[in-house]
A and B are shown apart, each in its own frame.
Chain A
Amino acid sequence: MKIVAVFFGGQTVEHDVSILTGLQALSALDAQKFHGIPVYIAPDGAWYTGEALKSRESYLLGEETKKGLARVGLFAGRPTSGPALTQLERRRLGGLEAKEIPFDIALPAMHGTGGEDGALQGLFELCHIPYVGSRPLGSAATMDKAFTKRVLMGLGIPVVPFIEVERPAEGAFIEAKVLKERLDRELTGIPFPLCAKPRDLGSSVGVTRVEDIDALAAALVAIFRLDGAAVVEAFVPNLVEYNVAVTRALGEATPSVIERPLGKAAVLDFADKYLQEGGKASKVEGAVSEGMASAVRIINPAELTEDQARRIRDYAVRAFSAFGLRGSVRIDFLCDAATGEIWLNEINNIPGSLSYYLWEPSALKLSFTDLLTALVEEGLRAARAARAERSADLAKSVIFKRRG
């Protein structure tokens, strides 16, 4: 029985969505093979573990609930004797006592800043902790929409023309005149409306359609509250979105079925993705929303031609491989329904609900439970492969005598 530490929450705008993904993963883990332990990162940055974290009713944590939980962390300075959470407890007579809570592998069910952008993965690497999903490089690269687009352009995968706008050193307002000059120079011939979005955030947080230069300046102010930079790109007319997941946990990099998410507005925004319940919006708090899993969608939409579907799958698999990704990754596309043109929009290396709903109807017929088993095994395999690389003996780089 392997112990899987499921990480969720985090200091990010996607904190609440991550709770949904974390709880889904905990309940879907195959109880015959794994024991899941929750590791919850609260909005204030404190890490907790404990059984109460498995219940939806516990969120967000009240003081009473916190009393029954253990405060934990990962200690990078501890010798490598197997993965463990370090639990710090205040001794009655003063001082701190450290206990260890061992586990076998970490499963980050984190979205956005700190959890999906390679930071947490870097900590896992440093602590020699096997983990599910992409390595720091792929995680960080795909979190940055502008960087992602530049790599994709190098691969010949179509992306919507864009510019990257950084937050000014002072304040958040960029004058319309300055913006216009950049647009004229770098997005030549591309008329309004445009689409402005935070560079590093997922879940469609802060994605705004802007009709003119003043609206763009205002949208950027709002975006700079969330992110240090924005991507401003052409707004695709007759917009239809298509998503596909890719994994290589079962061998070759394999695409899932393609979905067309059904958003109400022109842009699938946060409310559409996460707050939809029975056709009308409901609050995440207390509602039984299942995040991306409960959004409304059409699987393998009939309007996609075989050629379009093949291109979507091909671009997705090539992008997945180029960024060296692992886990279940969702890759989102934009399509102009009138011309049939397709652009790769973004790569979510830890998508909401880990996109299990795209694997259930796929040719693999993977339940979320079996998907998680495959992902955990992929993570364990990767850790075994990585372990070999660290031995100085093997690398013939021994200078000092190893004592003891």
Chain B
Amino acid sequence: MAAPAPSLVEVGLDGARVPLGVHVTPCTEGPRLVWLHGWGQDHRAFAALQSFFAGEAEHVGLDMPGFGIAPPPPGDWSTQDYGRLLGAYLATLAPRPTVLVGHSFGVRVILRLAAAGAPGWVARLVLIAGAGLQRRRSAPARLRAAALKLLGRAARLADRLLGTKLHAAYAARFGSADYRKAGPLRGTFVKVVTEDQSDTAARVKLPTLLLYGEKDTETPPEFGTRYRALIAGSTLRVLPGLDHYSVLGTSAHQVKSALRAFLKEGGLL
């Protein structure tokens, strides 16, 4: 499959123009598949999956603000903001049966849009290793998290009052890799990871396929079980041997198979 031509599309949102990375592989046949990547990734994360549907669907790979070719958002965005941007972008497209496919953070964005109301031609959702729920932690783990949060606040306070650099040291020691690497998106990152989208998911009414890697430690299959209960008309597949990233890799054969079956079931292929 030839690489799609990259372009930055300015999408109107709240009177401003927000640049979104859009990578279209045109195809007159079949549905339109819109791909929403995970945190720290871009549209290329879906290359293996897209190529399996080459010539059968139009692919629209997005780079959300702050990722890939798209500059950071104009502030500390929440997933609601990303969801509204996705909605505003889809509104510029010609109607065509469309499936939104998201991975991890991309799932959070899709859920926001789907709960708020996607265009009528969005037919189905595919949520791969979807994030957006808070982990059920053991009591000691909860205690540790609370203590760390307090320590972080204390470090920030000391930095402000005493001019120390304690918070940077705290982040380096206790912050997650994504947090440390978030750069200008750090404010967004904190908003994103602390949210819980249970209520959002409960408002989704579209046929939805939930795919989770059995070995996923970032978004464990338990998330899938909870989303399955929250989203009416959803199906859950837990895939043995796969983790948070290998669900998109060249070895994601079961994902390809499930995706094809799901599209066929919806009369889209």
Binding site for B on A (CB under 8 A): 24, 26-28, 30-32, 54, 290, 293-294, 356, 360-361, 365, 367-370
Given contacts A27-B241, A31-B240, A32-B237, contact A367 B251 (CB under 8 A): no
Q: Is the CB of B253 within 8 A of A27?
A: yes
- Stretch of B137-145, B162-170, B254-262 on the interface side: B254-262
Instruction: Other than A360-B52, A367-B260, A369-B254, give 6 A-B pairs with Cβ distance below 8 A.
Output: A24-B251, A27-B251, A28-B254, A31-B240, A293-B250, A369-B253
Contacts of B238 in A (CB 8 A): 31
Query: Whole-angstrom distance from the CB of B16 to the nearest CB of chain A?
Result: 40
B240 touches A27 (CB 8 A): yes
How many A-B contacts at CB < 8 Å in the complex? 47
When the two chains form their complex, are residues A356 and B56 in contact, meaning their CB atoms are under 8 A apart?
no
30 contacts between A and B (CB under 8 A): A24-B251, A24-B253, A26-B241, A27-B240, A27-B242, A27-B251, A27-B254, A28-B251, A28-B254, A30-B257, A31-B237, A31-B239, A31-B240, A31-B254, A290-B251, A356-B253, A360-B52, A360-B256, A367-B52, A367-B253, A367-B256, A367-B257, A368-B256, A368-B257, A369-B253, A369-B254, A369-B256, A369-B257, A370-B257, A370-B260
A31: B residues at CB distance < 8 A: 237-240, 254
Interface residues of B in 213-264 (CB under 8 A from A): 237-242, 250-251, 253-254, 256-257, 260
> In the complex, which residue of chain A has the Cβ closest to the Cβ of B48?
A360
- Which A residue sits closest to B239, measured CB to CB? A31
In the assembled complex, B54 has its CB within 8 A of some CB on chain A: yes
Assess whether B250 is in contact with A290, with CB atoms less than 8 Å apart: yes
Residues of B within 8 A of A30 (CB): 254, 257
Residues of B within 8 A of A28 (CB): 251, 253-254
C-alpha spacing A368/B54, complex, angstroms: 16
Give the residue among A28, A290, A293 with the most B Cβ atoms within 10 A: A28
For the side of the interface on B, what is the size category?
10 to 19
Pair B257/A294 contact, Cβ less than 8 Å: no
- Chain B residues, Cβ within 8 Å of A356: 253
- The SS class assigned to the A binding surface is helix
CB distance from B265 to the nearest CB of A (A): 14
Closest approach, in angstroms, between the C-beta of A292 and any C-beta of chain B? 12
A365 to B30 Cα, complex, angstroms:
14
- Nearest Cβ in chain A — how far from B249, in angstroms? 9
Please name the residue on chain A nearest to B254 by beta carbon: A369
Q: For B52, what are the chain A residues with a Cβ–Cβ distance below 8 Å?
A: 360, 365, 367
Of A290, A294, A369, chain B has the most CB atoms within 10 Å of the CB of A369
Separation of A294 and B54 alpha carbons in the complex (Å): 19
* Distance between Cα atoms of A401 and B253 in the complex (Å): 52
How far, in whole Å, are A201 and B238 apart by their CA atoms in the complex?
39
In the assembled complex, which residues on chain B have CB atoms less than 8 Å from the CB atom of A32? 237
Residues in B neighbouring A54, C-beta threshold 8 A: 241
**Contact between chains at A365 and B241 (CB < 8 Å):** no
From B237, B250, B251, B260, A365 is in contact (CB under 8 Å) with B260
A294 to B253, CA, bound (A): 14
